Amino acid sequence: MIKVGIIGGAGYTAGELIRLLLNHPDVEIAFINSTSNAGNRITDVHEGLYGETDLRFTSELPLDEIDCLFFCTAHGDTRKFMESHTVPAHVKIIDLSMDYRIKSEEHDFVYGLPELNRRAICEANHIANPGCFATCIQLGVLPLAKHLMLNSDLHVNAITGSTGAGVKPSATSHFSWRNDNISIYKPFTHQHLAEINQSLVQLQNSFKSQINFIPVRGNFSRGIFATTYLDCKIELSEIRRIYEEYYNDHSFTFIVDKNPDLKQVVNTNKCLIYLQKYEDKLLIVSMIDNLLKGASGQALHNMNLMFGLEETVGLHLKPSAF
């Protein structure tokens, strides 16, 4: 059994990660650290886990008793922890924050997008889990980058569920504001643009185009629905062949024939991609569950790869399609 610890156990991503780990046949949760909830039952916070576990939050950090450590911490807190604690060398780390997503000589974290870096993930000790918007948008365009086809600006509109804002209430996440409402935020400047650019340059060194990204707050709980369009004169049949070839040996990304809807991916670790041509414009529709494929499901996928397990173990999930 793989013994795991979780730091930062009270948020949405932690709740989903705990749910997945409890049902993983090769995992035992050793501890879930939360100083603000120490001593409380996990189900006091994550009420959807009633009947699933009797575990309690703890303020202790028995790092020498685990094989893998997940960080479900606020941005900046993982780096602070790593600088102030000594994690045993044998412990593999998967960080769900953005602290180590950008490659640097100062750290050895591998960017954990399996559809881009699966081989490196299998050999890594430290993984930086991608952002949710970044995951959805990258999966929509990676095949084009591999074939050096990103030679015009990308125009991206992506709408995300309220869980993407985290569990702590805010002026733009409480029900009476979010329901029956949409709004944009951080247009052209969203923090996930840096990791998207990094990945596209990794595949297409010549990529210098602009990514015009408009993030939208949606009036639903979970999921990301992204539309990307760019100039492309290649026939749709050839583009589809390129996408199917790229994702042929990946377990969670699928090219679909019909214009899909968000409910087909909610509560799963899947990404669905729909392609359409309008004269010399290529339209790419991509969608994921922001808490699973965009966070905790992808983290578990990375853990499976790091420990040599079949990558879909613990991730056969039914979509909330109705």
Q: Give catalytic residues, as residue numbers.
A: 132
> What angle separates helix 114-123 from helix 132-146, to the nearest 10 degrees?
100
> Could you identify the residue written with the tokens 């997008």?
113
CA–CA separation, 33 and 86 (whole Å): 16
CA–CA separation, 129 and 131 (whole Å): 7
> What angle separates helix 193-203 from helix 114-123, to the nearest 10 degrees?
80
With H, G, I as helix, E, B as strand and everything else as coil, classify residue 15: helix
> Could you identify the residue written with the tokens 């450590």?
69
CA–CA separation, 273 and 254 (whole Å): 6
Distance from chain centroid for Cα 322: 23
Q: How many CB atoms lie within 10 A of CB 54?
A: 8
93, 96, 98, 103: CA torsion to nearest 10: 40
CA–CA separation, 125 and 311 (whole Å): 17
Kindly state the tokens that stand for 26.
Answer: 């090769």
Q: How many CB atoms lie within 10 A of CB 186?
A: 13
DSSP classification of residue 315: -
The enclosing H or E element of 93 equals: strand 92-95
Decide: 33 and 58 in contact? Cβ < 8 Å. yes
**Where do the H-state alpha helices sit in the chain?**
12-22, 42-45, 77-84, 114-123, 132-146, 175-178, 193-203, 236-247, 297-306
